[in-house]
Homo-oligomer: A and B are copies of this chain.
Amino acid sequence: MPRVVDHQERKTMIANAACMVIARDGLDAVTLANVGREADCTTGTITHYFHDKEEVLTAALDHAIETMNARMVRRLKKNPEDVLGFLCETLPLGRRGREETKVWYCFWSRAMHDNHLAKSQRSMHLRWRTRVRDLLLGMQTRGVIVLKHDIEDEAEALCAMINGLGLRATLDPGEWPAVRQVRLLEDYLSRLQTA
């Protein structure tokens, strides 16, 4: 009788370990040995669950995204009109946020030259942007903001702004305490309220 192991749970654990390594030491530090050390298993175990390294990386990205997404969803469920709170989940505000966004950002440069990762990133971005768009629509409906331009463009612009803020905050954390990130995001949103 084979040892009973939840296959999917094991994969997730390894993907999570990979995320830890990425967040701590960067994508270039991701070796199967390092991931194994973090996940407390050997390289053999990893290749048992993943065909090759690329699959591990993809799983790591997916894991980070799903975790972030889950938090966003949870937040929205609590209060569907808390747009700022929702958006803040994608900024590196706390320790958790910093880790997750770092993983996300690390894959940007790789996605530029890896079609597979690029697709993954695009579909993930699409989902995020769609939600952002719907929230903007809701705000407009409620009269909170007035969108002067194409709604898709507005959503894209907001996403770009958030990515830009998060990036800068990650590259220069000393200059970017949470309050400053939030303040600049609020400033951006406040400009949309103009009649």
> Which residues of A are at the interface with B, using a C-beta cutoff of 8 A?
2, 25-29, 44, 102, 105-114, 118, 121-122, 125, 148-149, 153, 156-157, 159-165, 167-168, 170-172, 180, 183-184, 187-188, 191-192, 194
What B residues does A162 contact at CB under 8 A? 164
Q: How far is the CA of A170 from the CA of B160 in the complex (A)?
A: 12
- Known interface pairs A157-B187, A180-B153. Does A112 touch B164 (Cβ–Cβ under 8 Å)? no
Among residues of B, the one whose C-beta sits closest to the C-beta of A153 is: B184
User: Which of B29, B167, B180 sits near A108, CB closer than 8 Å?
Assistant: B167
Most chain B CB within 10 A, of A113, A118, A121, A187, is at: A113
- Interface residue from B102, B160, B164, B171 paired with A118 (Cβ < 8 Å): B171
**Within the oligomer, what is the number of copies of this chain?**
4
Q: Chain A's interface: helix, strand, loop or mixed, by majority?
A: helix
B26 touches A109 (CB 8 A): yes
Q: Provided the pairs A171-B111, A172-B122 are in contact, do residues A149 and B187 lie with their beta carbons within 8 angstroms?
A: yes
Residues of B within 8 Å of A161, CB to CB, are 157, 160-161, 164
Report Cα–Cα, A191/B153, bound state, in Å: 14
Please name the residue on chain B nearest to A191 by beta carbon.
B191
14 contacts between A and B (CB under 8 A): A26-B112, A26-B113, A27-B109, A28-B28, A118-B172, A122-B171, A122-B172, A125-B172, A153-B187, A156-B184, A157-B187, A160-B168, A164-B165, A167-B167
